[in-house]
Every structure is written in structure tokens, then in C-alpha cells.
A and B are shown apart, each in its own frame.
Chain A
Amino acid sequence: MTITLTLKQAPAVPLEAEVLSPDVFAELSNAEIRALIVYNGKRQVPLEEFFDVDGERSDELVLHGDLTKVRLIGRGMSKGSVTVHGRVGMHLGAHMKGGRIEVHGDASDWIGAEMKNGFIHVHGNAGGQIGAAYRGSLAGMKNGTIIVDGTAGLEVGMRMRRGTIILGGQAKDFTGLQMKGGTIILMDGAEIRTGAWMNRGTIISMKPIKLMPTFAESNDSNPTFMNVYARQLKRFGVNLPFAASEGIYQRFSGDLAVPGNGEILVWQPA
């Protein structure tokens, strides 16, 4: 049993809808769901003004429509699932503690920002600040997994502490900025300043990337954790090579400016 929400009309100004969360919907009747308050700009309106709601009392949400201007979906959720068919707006799954979010379409900035746990999969492209710390916060995502099949924007994983971010497409600048831990996997590389000011954590790139001048090449290796890691990632459909016959990971450490103990592994096929 799922609850299906279909966008009736695209809002002209942003629609803040943190109520679109399994935690909120789980115990509510259809009428109660339709009456939930969302913020269209500064105006408080019932959810039904923008959505047709089908179903009730479930922690599985399915959303349809162009939700580009709908923000804060799945914010702070701890269980259940949200599936979106269409584009989705900012802060998707920010602060989430558990459950799954899947987007068949593009997403915007701040996906999974400061999340504690859970799983987010965006099949299209995403914006910037994925799994990042909000401005001024000391730490970004603390655990969980974010997968984006397509490209991503600036500052992916900024100040993240733990967890995994996997990008199928290319990321823009400052991927892993001030990272404190966790792993970022770049299947298609990134633009510039990857790993800038990182303290700890690991960035793995399957394509050659432009490194900061403050990273030093330490040694080439296929670290032992790679095969453990590669096996874990298989269940997300990600294939990370690890056999010595296939190639080798060039290892860089930095950022010397901090000075930090982060590592960037760049795949060199045999």
C-alpha cells in the first residue's frame, strides 16, 4: 500500500513541503494528509491545493510531477520510502535519519545535507552541496549513502564526516571540500579543486582528475579495503575495479594546507 501524490499545478514561487515525509504520513488518513500545511512562498496552504492524494496510512510515498520548486521533501525522515517521478527541488532528504529516497529525474542542491543515515538515489543529474554541511555548520552528512547517476554541482560532500557519496557523472568544483571523513566515489571525475582542504576521508576517482597543488603522491596501491569496498558497492550497481590485473590506484594525500590526512585514489587502468 502506497500513498500517491500527483502535482496538480506547478507553484509559481517555491513550495516548502517538509511534511512530504513518511514519518508524517504513516498514521494519517487521506483527509488529514490533504489538510497538511505547506508553504507557498509565505502563504500557508493545505497540501491538496497543489497535490491530488491517493491512499493513506502508509510510509511509502510516491510523487509525480515537476517538483522543481517543491523543497524540503523527505526532510528529517527516519523510515519508509519516498519515490519521485519527475524533477525535484532543494533540500531533498536533508537531515534524514533513515529510509530511502529514489528520484527518477533530476534533483537540485543540498540533497541529503547534514543527513545522519539513510539512502538516496537520484537517477538523473543533481545540484551542488550534496551531503554537505549547511553554511556555518562544522559537519555535513554523518552517515548514509547518496547515489547520483548523473552529474553534480559544486561542493559535493563539503565537510562530510562519514557515509558514502557516489557520482556517476562529472562533479563540478570543490568536491570533498574540507572533508572530515567518509568516501566520495567519482565514476566520471570532477572539474577542479577536488579534495581542497580535506582533513580526512577518501575520494576515489575512476577518471584522471586535476588535483590541488597541495596534494602529494604517496604510493600506488590497491589498498586492501578496495575489494571489501567494491563488494559492498556492487549492491548499488557500482562496479569498482580492484584486481591488480585490471590496473592500479594512484594515491595522493593532503591537503597539505590544513595539514590533513585525506587521500585521493585515482584509477589507472592497466
Chain B
Amino acid sequence: MPEALLEAAGLSRRFGGLAAVDAVDLRVERGAIHGLIGPNGAGKTTLLNLIAGALAVTRGTVSFRGADITRWDAARRAQAGIRRTFQNLKLFAEMSALENASIGLHAGTHAGIFAALARTPAQRAEEERIFARARRALEFVGLGGDAGVAAGKLPYGHRRLLEIARAFVAEPALILLDEPAAGLNQTEAANLSRLIGRIRDAGCTVVLVEHHMDVVMSVCDQVTVLNYGRKLAEGRPAEIQRDAQVIEAYLGRGDAPPSKHALA
């Protein structure tokens, strides 16, 4: 069996009486694009937040590269190589696209307050490296022409890409994409699918929460389906599309198998 980069065991998160994520086991293989789908409210984003460390787990464990990271905070996980995007875009609106991407390199770089005050040669060299890498990340996602534009002034589709550039810039081991295709048109979604493939080819493992079934079915190696916070099914995209439980969860009880679009 291929090596697991990320493993969740019995992962649960309760909000008051509601079990948003309920005893989920998840195994993400190194180098995979792992889809996470399910109806609205199934707990996909909550699960992503538990993996990223944005929410504390109620029960269960998360391990990454074999280390138990359940108690690590979000910044430490980011430093260790888990980066994410946000479904409802959390960019630094007043900063340029280039500066947004440069923040993604904060964890891997070192110059502190005194180095900045003294403008040491090491600090200046690091600044140059940061901006060169940030620029490459913008070009990678196709935002090379927008480097100087304030994030808040970018068109919507470009903001989605900037979220990805900021998460990808440090070339993390694991990248968590939370509905990157939301609000994109067909052409943009197709470009996004290719981009996700290129991110994997660059050596990042991807966890993809997505409603857009064309994207999920075209890029994912493995798909996990959540419903009411529980794992409903898991398998290759083609298997998932035929799974009776999955069809029922999405469409209610029925006989006809759903088309790709109906699943969306």
C-alpha cells in the first residue's frame, strides 16, 4: 500500500449537540489528489479545518508524516507543510497580489525585527528570494500580470487563483483546497482542473473539497464522500459515481443513476 501522508482516525467535532464531523477515518496517500465531496452541511469544510488546525478536534487524532499533530495549532501545521485555501476567500485585500503570495513564505523564512532594522545583507538577500519565489508562484497559477494589483481589486476568478498561489508558494507537502471552483465558469473550472494536476505534479499532495463534479471526477485519484458528518463511501471517482448510497444522499431515493452534472 502506498505511504500515507495524512491520516485521521476517529476524527470528531461537535458544535453543541451537533456532530459536524463524526468519527471519520481518512487516509490521504502521498502524491494523490484526494476529493472530499458531500451535500451541503455534510462536514467537508469542518473536516478540512480540523486537518488545518483552524478548529480543535473533539475526539480522534490527526497524523501527518507519521507524527501526531492533533494538538498543533494552525501556524505550526502550516510551518510543517500543511497549507490551505479558504472557501470564502480570505485574502489580504489591501496588499498587492505579490505581497499576498509573499506572506505564504513567512513560515519558511527567518529575518526578524533586528535584521530588518539593520538591513543586514542576509535580510536583503532573503527579501529578494521571497519576492522572486512569490512572483514564480503568481506565474504558476497564471497571475503573472497582476503582481502589483491590490488583492481586493482583482476580479473574482483571479482572487481564487491568488488563494491558491499563496498556499502553493512554499511548495508544501499537503495543500487543502476548499471549493476552489466555486463561482467559476466552465472554462475557468477546466483551467483549474489542469492547475490542480500541475500542483500535484510539482510534488504537493492535494485534498480537494469541491461541489463542481467535473473538476472532482477529472482530477481526483480517490474520493471520500461525507454525509451528516459521517463517511458514506470512499473509492475511485468512477466507483463513487455508481455507488447507490452516494446517489441517494445527493438525490434522495430514486432509480435513475445520476449524470455527472446531476451530482453537481
**Bound pair (A, B):** no
Which residues does A use to contact B, with CB under 8 Å? Answer: none
Which residues does B use to contact A, with CB under 8 Å? Answer: none
